Structure 1
Amino acid sequence: MAITWSEAATSRGSWKQIPLEGTPLREVVHFAGPKDPEGRSVLDDGRAVEPAFGDLEVVTAGTVRMSMRRHGDSSYLVHYTGTSLILAELWVRFDTVIPDEEFERDLDEWIGNGCNGSAGYVVDARMALAGAE
C-alpha cells in the first residue's frame, strides 16, 4: 500500500511509527467531542490499543466502511470496519514543536509492553487501513 500523507499532517513535530503494521483489526473507533478525544483500535485477538487521537488522518485501500454516529449533543463516534481489516501503518506524534523526552520515554515503554491499553497522551495520528478488495 503506497501512502502519501497530506502536507498538513507532516508539517510540524516528529512522527513515530507504532510497530503494528500488518495487524488484523476488528474495528477502529474515534470519538471526538468538545473536550477530550479518544481512540481505540480493537485487534482480532481482542486487545485494545488506545492512543487518544487528537487530529487523525486515515487513508484506506480496499473496502473499509466508515460510519459516524451522534454521541450526545455535540460529539460523534466514527467507526472504521471491514472484512479482513488490516492496520497497514500507524504513526503518532505529541503535538509540540519542542521535543518532549518524557513523551518519547513513555511511548517507548508503551510500545515495549505490546501497545496494550492507553498510551497516556492525546496524540495526532496517521493511520492506514486496508480491507478486502
Structure 2
Amino acid sequence: MSSSTIQKQREIQKQVHKADKKEKSKSTGAMQAGARPYPEPPFPKVHQQKPGSEADLPLAPMYDAPFYKGSQKLKDKVALITGGDSGIGRSVAILFAREGADVAIVHLDEGQDAEETKAAVEKEGHRCLAIRGDV
C-alpha cells in the first residue's frame, strides 16, 4: 500500500474512533414502528397467581400482527391449539385463522381470555371452539 492510502485509512479510523467515544443520545421511549404505538416504560409491576389471566393485566398484550396477510396455506384445515387463550397460543390461533384454518383452543380456567381469542379468530372469518380442560 502506498503511504497516502495508509494515511487516508488512519484518518478514517480516527474519525470512527472519535465518533465511538461521543456520548450517545439515550432513547427514552420505545421504538415506534409498525401499525400501532408501542407502550413506553416504565411498565406497572404485575404479579398473578398461576394460572394468570391476561384480562386482568393493566397493559393488554399485543398479538394481532395487523400487517400480516395470510396466503390460505391452511384452507379447509382444523387446528387444535393448547394454551390458545393467551400469549403465544392466542397469536398462533389468530394467525392460523388468517391462513384459512378453523381453530379449536384448549385452555384452563381463563374463560374471559378464551372468549377474546375466540372473537379474534371469528373476526378473521373462521370458526373457533374454546374447550376448557387440562391436557
**TM-score grouping bracket, smaller chain normalisation:** under 0.3
Larger-Rg structure: 2
- Structure showing the higher strand proportion among its residues: 1
Q: Report the TM-score, using the length of structure 1 for normalisation.
A: 0.19
Higher relative contact order (CA 8 A, sep 6+): 1
- Structure showing the higher helix proportion among its residues: 2
